[in-house]
Amino acid sequence: MLMPEILLHYIWQKGLFLSSKQTTTNGLPIEIISLGQHNIDAGPDFTNVHLRVDGVEWVGNVEIHVKASDWYKHHHHLDPAYDSVILHVVREADKQVFNTQGEAIVQCELQYTVQQDYLSLMIEDAQRMDSALAIHPCGQQLLHNPQLITEGWKRVLLHHRLECKDAAIRRLLAITHNNWAQAFYISLAHNFGFHVNGIPFEQLAIKTPLTCLQKHHNSLFQLTAILLGQSGLLSAETATTQEQQQLLREYLFLQKKFSLTPVDAATWKFARIRPQNFPTVRIRQFAQLLYQSEFLFSKAMACNRIDDLEQLLTLRSDPIDISTQVAPPIPLGTSSIHILLINTILPYMYAHAKVQNDLNRIEQIVQLMEEIPAEDNRIIRQWKTLGQRVQSAADTQALIHLYQNYCQPHRCINCDVGYQIFVRLTGVGPASSAWEADALPMC
């Protein structure tokens, strides 16, 4: 049985309410500029929402409930992660709600009109959206003819994916004044968050300059103390063991030395995460990697083989430091190492090769992507159900880019698959590829 809240999620995500006038519960007009992104992890339901309330622009998160009082049933009034909510969308505003700071949250009783004969189809689609990704509208065509996604199109998509990552690296280089090592450090930290904690991990790196860590690169104890302390997760309240208390004392000294400001601990997510992936574990792993690999960026850029890159990210099992009782962290799993290679190291190698105009190196990086095993995530599992052969990270990166930049925004006419289907159904246009007219990647 479909939960009504899921239906409200669907209506918001699809923008089915936009034709109806929306107001706050006290009558102020609401204009939606951007619907944001659906958040399937812990925290508010939709992130990066952009709206205008009575002429004032707001950017933040949206939480959706059937009844406003569900805010309290779910204990959001006690969770700082929900202090970023700029609009509480409900079907029935039966209660005023407040965040942890005692501030009233703006509420809206969502107005929408849905025809009865369309409601059952919408409910079915919402159920499918809640249980799995759906490739629309080409899914049925691909199910019967998976060869519509050609190897040539996947090759183009992979290059588009790398170009998008190159653009992101260039933006970060502009911020870091073309400091490749600092930009690499921030990107690596972001990807150590493995999606769920990417943003707080990135903030940790920004608030903890690489130069501070380099001054203590010979001490795993000090690196761990700085990073754990800067995360906001190491405090007088959380330091319950002797090791944690030692780390806290060291951090307080180093914090004063470098005038550091920690990240807000409330930004980290622990819900629905396995203990071995907790941010505290990932931070210790990150400290170990920086400890054992000084000049990590230069070493990574010099590698030519996947084995060497994997070895670079493999954490050593050093013995316990007797003087501090700091044990080595849990080793990084093979799949985690491959994710870091795919999302950080190979894109930086690609960007570095582009700056040097080294076309042979660029082709070598694509070949290295083909040597990494295929990723396993919700998007890729959906493509597999449609008969796609997925053999390497080159395939998965191409298919992820296809889903995010063509399927989701419905850019079917710019997609080679959509173009082929259009030609077959209408007989209009040459039966050739569409990507010549779509040379620029969409990020």
- Summarised one tens digit per residue, pLDDT across range 187-229 is 999 999 988 899 999 999 999 999 999 999 999 999 999 999 9
Q: What is the mean pLDDT of the chain?
A: 87
Q: What pTM, to 2 d.p., does this model score?
A: 0.72
Which two structure tokens, joined as six digits, stand for 229?
Answer: 């302390």
For 107, list phi and psi in degrees, rounded to 5.
Answer: -120, 155
**What is d(CA 188, CA 205) in angstroms, rounded to the nearest whole number?**
9
- As beta bridge partners, residue 2 has none
Sign of CA dihedral 268, 273, 278, 283: negative
Can you give the pLDDT at residue 27?
94
**What is d(CA 258, CA 96) in angstroms, rounded to the nearest whole number?**
44
Which two structure tokens, joined as six digits, stand for 438?
Answer: 């779509």
Range 328-341 burial, b when 16+ CB lie within 10 A, else e = bbbebeeebbbbbb
**What is d(CA 393, CA 398) in angstroms, rounded to the nearest whole number?**
8
Sign of CA dihedral 212, 214, 215, 216: positive
For 53, list phi and psi in degrees, rounded to 5.
Answer: -110, 115
Task: Render pLDDT for 81-91 as a digit per residue (tens, 0 to 9).
Answer: 899 999 999 99
Task: Render pLDDT for 300-343 as a digit per residue (tens, 0 to 9).
Answer: 999 999 999 999 999 987 665 555 566 677 889 999 999 999 99
**What is d(CA 11, CA 110) in angstroms, rounded to the nearest whole number?**
9
- For residue 52, give the 3-state DSSP assignment: strand
Which two structure tokens, joined as six digits, stand for 158?
Answer: 């992979």
Task: Render pLDDT for 251-287 as a digit per residue (tens, 0 to 9).
Answer: 999 999 999 999 999 889 887 788 888 999 999 999 9
CA angle 189, 267, 334 (to 5 degrees): 35
Q: Is the pLDDT of residue 144 over 80?
A: yes
Q: How confident is the model at residue 10 (pLDDT cuts 50, 70, 90)?
A: confident
Do 434 and 152 touch, CB atoms closer than 8 A?
Answer: no
Strands 56-67 and 85-92: parallel
Can you give the pLDDT at residue 420?
81
For 396-431, the DSSP string reads: HHHHHHHIIIIITTT-GGGSHHHHHHHHHHH--S-S
Which two structure tokens, joined as six digits, stand for 335?
Answer: 């799949």
The domain limits of the chain are 4-131, 176-370
Which two structure tokens, joined as six digits, stand for 308?
Answer: 């060497």
Find the Cα–Cα–Cα–Cα dihedral 112, 118, 123, 129, rounded to 10°.
-90
Can you give the pLDDT at residue 132?
46
Can you give the pLDDT at residue 271?
79
Task: Render pLDDT for 12-33 as a digit per residue (tens, 0 to 9).
Answer: 887 888 888 999 999 999 999 9
**What is d(CA 192, CA 345) in angstroms, rounded to the nearest whole number?**
12
The number of residues in the chain equals 443
Can you give the pLDDT at residue 318?
67
H-state helical runs in 193-241: 198-207, 210-214, 220-230
For 46, list phi and psi in degrees, rounded to 5.
Answer: -130, 130
**What is d(CA 113, CA 358) in angstroms, rounded to the nearest whole number?**
57
